[in-house]
Amino acid sequence: ATDAEKLDEHYQKYKEMFTLSPDRLKHIVERFVKVLEVGLEKDKQTVPMLPAYVFGWPSGDEKGSYLALDLGGTNLRVCHVELKGKGEFEVTQTKFRLTDEQKQCEGQELFDFCADCLNTFIKDHFGNGTEEDVILEEEIALGFTFSYPMEQEAIDHGRLVRWTKGFGNPNTEGNDCAAMFRKSLEKFKVPIKMTSIINDTTGTLIASNYVKQDTKIACIFGTGCNAAYMEHIRNIPKIKHLNLPEDEDMAINCEYGAFDSFTHEHMKEIRTKYDEYIDLHSNKPHEQAYEKMIAGLYLGEIFRLVMCDMVDEGALFLGQNTYKIEKPNVFDTAFLSLIESDPTDELLTVTGLFTHFFGLDTTMEERKFFKKLAELIGTRSARLSSCGIAALVTKMGYLEGDNPKGCGVGADGSLFSKYPNFSKRLQGALVDIFGEKGKLVVPHQAEDGSGVGSAIIAAMTRARK
Ligand code: ADP
């Protein structure tokens, strides 16, 4: 066989492995719906379906001046948000970079740093240019975006379950981080009132609905994947004891990147040996199983593992030293984006990528193979992403009835915004699952959840009190 034929044989094998038929998707959705329901019934399930204590949709007429503070993985962001009603707003923001020490220092010190940055921001924006304490005419409400798994009992309360994203600050896990932050605000005499603590996915849901009222679901496809939506309180059995009004709604942070974790029973037909490998070699084996087949942190690594297998079989880079691509995690998911979007006939971007980053020459046949392989992995990710959305749509009945309205899906994260055709593939899979009706579920770029969303929630909370 010629080189082209040999590579095509490999391609057919991977195509088989990574392609998800409509029937497979439908099966996964069925199981996904059940898992979401179990999470609403009982505490501490694999997909925890965390009540967010945000009650119902914003009206779109929320107005006023709010502050939002977002403790992200890399930066601390302080925003001043002016809500203008009619779904309009203006944002001014400052970012403060977090050091590695700050991610490991005593928990209270981390919140002191947050309060200190907030004070600096307030002095810059509302002060008279001196170091004097700022006196505000009226107290400004602050929304705190704290996107780590937390258990809430109220909108201004959030017990940190465990740190993620590289944080390890002692004496914080198990504590109410809202209370810790409030203590720091008092210590630094910051003249504001923290009214709400939220997860960024919940913020994205509310911000996207504020601007576009048909948005009923928010999803993140970035380093990880997750979603939030609005549930009827009567359908959340696990909080029955709180005696909340049964006819109201509450936002749920699904944390559904955990779908299929531990038992791996729901996607066993489609898990490949590469998924298995990534899972076992990750810092949290058996956790976040769904996310590991979808998200930005992993797609590049799947691609790299396939290349390594083929190198071992003598099918790629003949006669060259391949040590540079044999190191774990050196192949960023952004490379797959680049490969898929190479506009040249000769695939010159692909040529450059391999020579520049890995010191490897590629043949035209190899480059064509890589482009098709990236397509397989990127398409699988987008099609699997549709299953979580479809499960929420099914659960909420957004496509039921003779004249279904469907819904908008606010989506955010680099995969959604930068990966070529991600959105188109997602939509295609929704049509595979629901038929033509699937076109009524429309993904669109979400609004800034941790800034604007947090501010809107602060406004909603104030209005409720
Ligand atoms: P986060 O989820 O941390 O808020 P992002 O949404 O930017 O941040 O997601 C970061 C992830 O997206 C990383 O895993 C990175 O590999 C991936 N990524 C960054 N740029 C691109 C790109 N152009 N195409 C596809 N994936 C990308």
**Domain annotation covers residue 153:** yes
Residues 121 and 253 in one domain: no
In a domain, 235, yes or no: yes
For the record, the structure tokens of 327 come out as 């190191």
168-219 pLDDT per residue, tens? 999 999 999 999 999 999 999 898 999 999 999 999 999 999 999 999 999 9
Pair type for strands 225-232 and 249-253 = antiparallel
Cα angle 197, 465, 143 (rounded to 5 degrees) comes to 25
Number of domains in the chain: 2
What tokens appear for 49 in the block? 């379906």
CA nearest to 230, candidates 427, 436, 440, 457: 457
The mean pLDDT value for 440-456 works out to 96
Whether residue 361 lies in the annotated active site: no
Judge if 242 and 366 occupy the same domain. yes
If asked whether residues 186 and 236 sit together in one domain, one would say no
Residues 109 and 90 in one domain: yes
Ligand 1 center from residue 153 Cα (angstroms): 32
Atom of ligand 1 nearest to the CA of 298: 14
Which residue out of 70, 77, 112, 147 is catalytically annotated? Answer: 147
DSSP string, 374-396: HHHHHHHHHHHHHHHHHHHHHHH
What does the alpha-carbon distance between residue 204 and residue 220 come to, in Å, rounded to a whole number?
9
* pTM of the predicted protein model: 0.95
Interface confidence (ipTM) of the complex:
0.98
User: How far apart are the CA of 258 and the centre of ligand 1, in A?
Assistant: 19
Q: What is the CATH number of the domain that holds 112?
A: 3.30.420.40
Is 10 touching ligand 1 by the criterion CB < 6 Å? no
Say which of 176, 200, 260, 412 is annotated catalytic: 200
**Residue located nearest, by CA, to atom 17 of ligand 1:** 296
Q: Which two tokens stand for residue 363?
A: 């043949």
Q: How confident is the model at residue 126 (pLDDT cuts 50, 70, 90)?
A: confident
- 261-294 confidence digits (pLDDT tens): 999 999 999 999 999 999 999 988 999 999 999 9
Domain range for 113: 63-198
Same domain (yes/no): 361, 248: yes
The residue whose CA has the least distance to atom 9 of ligand 1 is: 222
Residue 257 CB less than 6 A away from ligand 1: no
Is 200 known to be catalytic? yes
Q: What is the pLDDT of residues 377-435, one digit of tens each?
A: 999 999 999 999 999 999 999 999 999 999 999 999 999 999 999 999 999 999 999 99
Mutate to test the pocket of ligand 1, among 98, 226, 333 (most ligand atoms within 8 A of CB): 333
User: Do 222 and 112 have their domain in common?
Assistant: no
